Amino acid sequence: MIHDYNPVVSGVQCMTNFRAVEPNGTTYNNYVLFDAVETKGGVLCTNGRWRSTDGGGTGRTTFRVFIKDGVKRGSGE
């Protein structure tokens, strides 16, 4: 499960800290940075790059978030 996922736009980027929690309770603290692209009256957070806060892992995500008037909607493959 993913917890605390709440991207905010800052200039040309969207960013958020989040936690990934396994069923056994093991928790991984992470950070994700997206490109912020203005589109359709809002901002599309796309091209996500994540990293663990302890430096143990990095990667990319296909998950995207559209933000318009404070409402956030996410989708991914």
Q: Where are the domains of the chain?
A: 2-68
CA dist list (Å): 15 to 2, 21, 23, 25, 47: 15, 19, 26, 25, 11
Residue type, position 62, single letter = T
3-state secondary structure of 14: strand
Q: What is the predicted pLDDT for the residue at 40?
A: 85
Q: How many angstroms separate the CA atoms of 10 and 65, rounded? A: 14
Structure tokens that stand for 52 in this block = 């663990």
The whole-model pTM stands at 0.86
Q: pLDDT tens string for the chain (77 positions)?
A: 889 999 999 999 999 999 999 999 999 999 999 999 999 899 999 999 999 999 899 999 999 999 999 999 998 76
